[in-house]
Structure 1
Amino acid sequence: MMFKTTLAALALGATALTSTAALAQDWRSELPVLRVGLLGGENDADRLRDNACLEEDLEALLGIPVDLFPAPDYAGVMQGLLADQLDYAQLGASAYAGIYLQDPEAVEPLFVSAESDGSTGYFAVMYTRADSGIASLEDMAGRSLAFADPNSTSGYLVPQAELTRQGIDIGSYFSETGFGGGHEQAVVAVLNGQYDAGVTWVSGVGDPAEGYTRGNLRSMIDNGLLNMADLRIIWQSSQIPNGPIVVRQGIPEEARTIIVDYLDSLLQDDPACYYAVTAGEGQGFVAVDHSFFEPVVEMRRMQTESR
């Protein structure tokens, strides 16, 4: 396969560069293992399987072990990055904002995924069971709503903010709100009748009947956990900036360069791996910096101050 040939060449190149710097301190002594945090939201087996190609490829390129750490929720990955216990993660925009507000120097955003139409944003949607009789947001008055995770952009921050701007008092409009424990778990809770509706993330591109081109619903369909005929989407947010792949600020520059080069060509070199790690179709990774997330940072700052 062309990708494996390219990967081998890159690995040889990285080894050669390391050899020429043999008299200097090897950066691998500073980074003996790359610790990758995986956000909560789906079961551990699926997360580990989807990221197995990332683990294998980066081990070959970096020449060090790569360990995957599936956290039970978003906060676990955020705290791991803040405590220098993780080196790499793919975050939602709100999780990134939460880290930045605690320590602006903790992580560096590298890339976001481009959707299949080239856009760099996605949407929050509210869904119900297709047989619930709920066909609109107005029908949700007096019904229960499951958010996904308190650190999720589409699963809490944006729906909470946009519904409030629409004049909905979340505490009184819904009979009950709670957190499902992640995007996948919230969908399951709605399907099982524990909540009347939930919120999750979708690309907003492609056929809704197929779970769109990318997102939690698409992943659940791919994993055999969902039939979209069982759900009805009743509300959609404005567009949200896609979440970043970040690295710890103190990571050695040599390792950062290898990671950036790998991600930059991943779609071209190994489309199946790109699909797995990004939860669906897209046009590759787009380089970003902190400025891309400033609106979400401000939204999260305002939410924190209003508590």
Structure 2
Amino acid sequence: MLRKLMLAAAAATLAFAAPLAAQAQSYKDTVKEFRVGLIGGENASDLMTRNEGYRKLLETELGIPVKLFPATDYAGIMQAIGAGQVELAAFGASGFAGAYLDCNKCIEPIVVPEENDGSTFYYSVAVVRADSGINSLDEAKGKSLAFADPNSTSGYLIPNATLKAEGKDPEKFFSRVGFAGGHEQGVLAVLNKQYDVAVTWTSGQGDINEGYSRGNLRAMVDKKLLNMKDVKIIWQSGKIPNGPITVRTDLPADLKAKLLQIHLDLPTKHPDIYKAIERGSGKGYAKTTVELYQDIIKLRQAEATGGRKS
């Protein structure tokens, strides 16, 4: 009888301990390497250098090896995160929506960048050379337009949809439309007179002479690739939700929680790294969910079906 009681007690102890052991399992038991996808749009060497401090910080904080994986365009990172080849990537709103739809909700946003006033929006703008003689979008009719990338929110999705809604279908309104391969390349193409107009993104806050507080124009000014006196903004979109930093949905919960906290702390604990990866300054990050991007997801769906309702 005593032996039976001892066996029963041992079994109960094991049954109780098993769930606790499962709960105590760390992400380090299953995730041996953490891979960060980097979206192109600038020189690959600059992209890696700009994110090296971020990589080192993640490696220190997570306690596992962290590697950077740059892609030449948005599609490369969309495919990589969907295929489980990277664990984290920062997307524009449209790139996130496309990846989210393509991989059947296999990724989720964790944080969204905040501007200096606490807002989580930015703008698409169209720029021309200051000496082009073009002072408005109407005056750009019959000229050439460079989109940034087909998976870019501000560099394609929003300006394309907005201009169509205004009766200015880019394919008909402009004499030539193409993709520059990225935001930086598009503005450089305008400066080099390869295109008359290029669309890119900006926070729309701060000093315009510095390229505003955050965005491609600011990044190019900081890198001395652009003097704002050499370009003119002739069009600006409505508010666009800032693109999120995303992770694969199947990552362990404790790893997601740690990544969330790292990013929330980044602007105060590591301001230089924050400014480097955000290409300018802002207030920091706010926790976010897929709900912020529902309108962009619907727009991507409509784009994929040619405007037809599925």
CA distance in 2, matches of 1:137, 1:228: 19
| Matching residue's letter, 1:203 | S
Q: Secondary structure at the match of 1:86?
A: coil
How far apart are residue 28 of structure 1 and its match? Answer: 2.2
Q: Secondary structure at the match of 1:51?
A: helix
Q: Give the match for residue 11 of structure 1.
A: none
| Matching residue's letter, 2:157 | L
CA distance in 2, matches of 1:107, 1:95: 12
How far apart are residue 104 of structure 1 and its match? Answer: 3.5
Q: Deviations over 1:100-139 (max 9, x none)?
A: 2223331110011000111100000000011111111011
Q: Secondary structure at the match of 1:306?
A: coil
> Pairwise mapping of residues 22-61 of structure 1 onto structure 2 (< 5 A)?
27-61=27-61
Structure possessing the higher radius of gyration over alpha carbons: 2
CA distance in 2, matches of 1:181, 1:168: 23
Q: Give the match for residue 156 of structure 1.
A: 156
Q: Give the match for residue 302 of structure 1.
A: 302
CA distance in 1, matches of 2:255, 2:244: 18
Q: Secondary structure at the match of 2:218?
A: helix
CA distance in 2, matches of 1:149, 1:105: 22
TM-score after normalising by structure 1: 0.90
CA distance in 2, matches of 1:89, 1:142: 38
The percentage of counterpart residues that share the same residue type is 49
CA distance in 2, matches of 1:69, 1:305: 31
Q: Deviations over 1:148-167 (max 9, x none)?
A: 00000000000001001111
How far apart are residue 54 of structure 1 and its match? Answer: 1.2
CA distance in 2, matches of 1:155, 1:175: 18
Q: Give the match for residue 205 of structure 2.
A: 205
Q: Give the match for residue 288 of structure 1.
A: 288
Pick which of 249-258 and 280-289 moved more.
Answer: 249-258
How far apart are residue 25 of structure 1 and its match? Answer: 5.5
Q: Secondary structure at the match of 2:305?
A: helix
| Matching residue's letter, 1:254 | D
Q: Secondary structure at the match of 1:125?
A: strand
How far apart are residue 172 of structure 1 and its match? Answer: 1.3
CA distance in 2, matches of 1:32, 1:95: 27
CA distance in 1, matches of 2:72, 2:274: 23
Q: Give the match for residue 16 of structure 2.
A: none
Q: Give the match for residue 228 of structure 2.
A: 228
Q: Give the match for residue 99 of structure 2.
A: 99
| Matching residue's letter, 1:225 | L
Q: Give the match for residue 67 of structure 1.
A: 67
How far apart are residue 290 of structure 1 and its match? Answer: 0.6
How far apart are residue 30 of structure 1 and its match? Answer: 2.0
Q: Deviations over 1:29-76 (max 9, x none)?
A: 421111100111111122112211210111011111111111100000
1:33 to 1:136, Cα distance in 2 relative to 1, 3 A = same
1:234 to 1:265, Cα distance in 2 relative to 1, 3 A = same
| Matching residue's letter, 1:99 | A
Pick which of 234-243 and 131-140 moved more.
Answer: 131-140
Q: Give the match for residue 260 of structure 1.
A: 260
TM-score after normalising by structure 2: 0.90
Q: Give the match for residue 239 of structure 2.
A: 239
Q: Deviations over 1:186-227 (max 9, x none)?
A: 111111111001000000111212100000010011111111
Q: Give the match for residue 147 of structure 2.
A: 147
Number of equivalent positions: 288
Q: Give the match for residue 11 of structure 2.
A: none
CA distance in 2, matches of 1:302, 1:162: 13
Does 2:174 align with 1:174? yes
CA distance in 2, matches of 1:149, 1:118: 28
Contact 2:143 2:196 in 1 (8 A): yes
| Regions of 4+ moved over 6 Å | 20-24
Q: Give the match for residue 118 of structure 1.
A: 118
Q: Secondary structure at the match of 2:250?
A: coil
Pick which of 228-237 and 252-261 moved more.
Answer: 252-261
Q: Which runs of 5+ in 2 are unaligned?
A: 1-19
Q: Which runs of 5+ in 1 are unaligned?
A: 1-19
| Matching residue's letter, 1:135 | N
Q: Give the match for residue 8 of structure 1.
A: none
How far apart are residue 258 of structure 1 and its match? Answer: 1.6
Q: Secondary structure at the match of 1:116?
A: coil
Q: Secondary structure at the match of 1:246?
A: strand
